[in-house]
Amino acid sequence: MKPVKVGLLGLGTVGGGTAVILKRNAEEIARRAGRGIEVDFIATLDADAAANLGIENVRLTDDAFAVVNDPDIDIVVELIGGYSPAKELVLKAIENGKHVVTANKALIAIHGDEIFAKAQEKGVVVAFEAAIAGGIPIIKALREGLAANRIEWLAGIINGTGNFILTEMRDKGRSFDDVLAEAQELGYAEADPTFDVEGIDAAHKLTILSSIAFGIPLQFDKTYTEGISKITLDDVAYAEELGYRIKHLGVARRTEAGVEQRVHPTLIPKSRLIANVNGVMNAVLVKGDAVGATLYYGAGAGDEATGSAVIADIIDVTRTLTTDPENRVPHLAFQPNELADIPVVSMDEVETAFYLRMTAKDEAGVLAEVTRILGDKNISIEAFIQKQPEHKGDDANIILLTHRVNEGDMNSALEQIEALDVISGDVMRIRVEALS
């Protein structure tokens, strides 16, 4: 059987890793796929990239559409990233009857429904395992391995940059700005780190995971997104004192009201395995009704880690080339005509516990006034710490841990607390999840 011809769009970190693994493990990959897989055509703006990677006997171009339109290419692998021209290239590949593999989470989260509909119409596959958590096969686990389960919730550390920053703050007592600068030097964070530290990257990924877990359309615009840039060393220390660790989590949960989709800093009990995932590593915890809780852990980025996921998709697509198009694994786990119209709930309706840190005047009655406001909203306190100021007359820190409460009620309470004359500035609040 003739080899499958692959066209690579982009030969950067992930593209390079993909090409190197395909060459190095060609025999093993062919044994798994049932036929050979060859990189035949590469679009790259770096004319020397292929030679530097030892990739030979491959056609090169700086025009990505030349690869997409080439009649000899069976599978187009989009590793350019971003929204455009990635979207146009993927849709053109589908129009030309080519299967697509992509690592582009932003593209899938925003335009996935349109892309999958076009792929369904043309009878081709769009595979995207590498879009989430690097080399961790979380999409395959959710879509296939856990197919017998009704997924109840999932929670993931799905951005390595944020996890690296929080780990360094906790373990070495370094400031957010200091660690972010190092993350940029190490290549973990971009020159503009907004997507990583403000949660946008994680929100793209969570949107996709939620859709696969619950069989709903992709709805990035309804994913609540909050970053880690306001987390201080005090918050990290107080969380430890209370028996928790701060992680930047993506959480998707099925409730009676609908589906929660949210990304935000979260206090997790130190005893939880996911609370001990450190550095740039990723992990996703999934709770199914039959299997219980399962944890998926590994490298969330990197050339060969992500390339591993890209090639797994290429192998899957190669296998489908000889199968019945009507019996393939659906893009979003559920058959296209079976996606449910379950609403994504407003963040005001979400119920969690809270960590609250506020700066207050060091005088009698402050804590009583704060607890009165919380009590009026039926918010009960589980624990509190009051840090006395070093010097008389300075403000004091009050740290409260609440029981679970409706987010809307907490917002109302915080508005009243921040209006008190005895409270300085905004109240810092971090949601708490037991994940039990």
Q: Give the active site residues.
A: 205
Nearest residue to 102 (alpha-carbon basis) of 24, 195, 5, 10: 10
Phi-psi domain of 406 (left: phi exceeds 0; alpha: psi -120 through 50; beta: other)? beta
* H or E stretch covering 162: helix 160-172
Give CA–CA dist 160/280, Å, rounded.
4
CB 126 within 8 A of CB 102: yes
CB 80 within 8 A of CB 63: no
Distances (CA, A) of 257 to 208, 260, 338, 343: 20, 9, 20, 8
Q: What are phi and psi of 359, to 5 degrees?
A: -105, 125
Name the H helices within 34-85: 49-52, 64-68
Q: How does DSSP assign 106-134, residue by residue?
A: HHHHHHHHHHHHHHHHHT--EE-GGGSST
Three-state secondary-structure class, residue 386: strand
CB 129 within 8 A of CB 300: no
Distances (CA, A) of 347 to 274, 353, 410, 411: 24, 14, 11, 11
Q: Determine what percent of the chain falls in helix, strand and coil, rounding each to the nearest 5.
A: 40, 25, 35
**Structure token digits, residue 287:** 């709770």
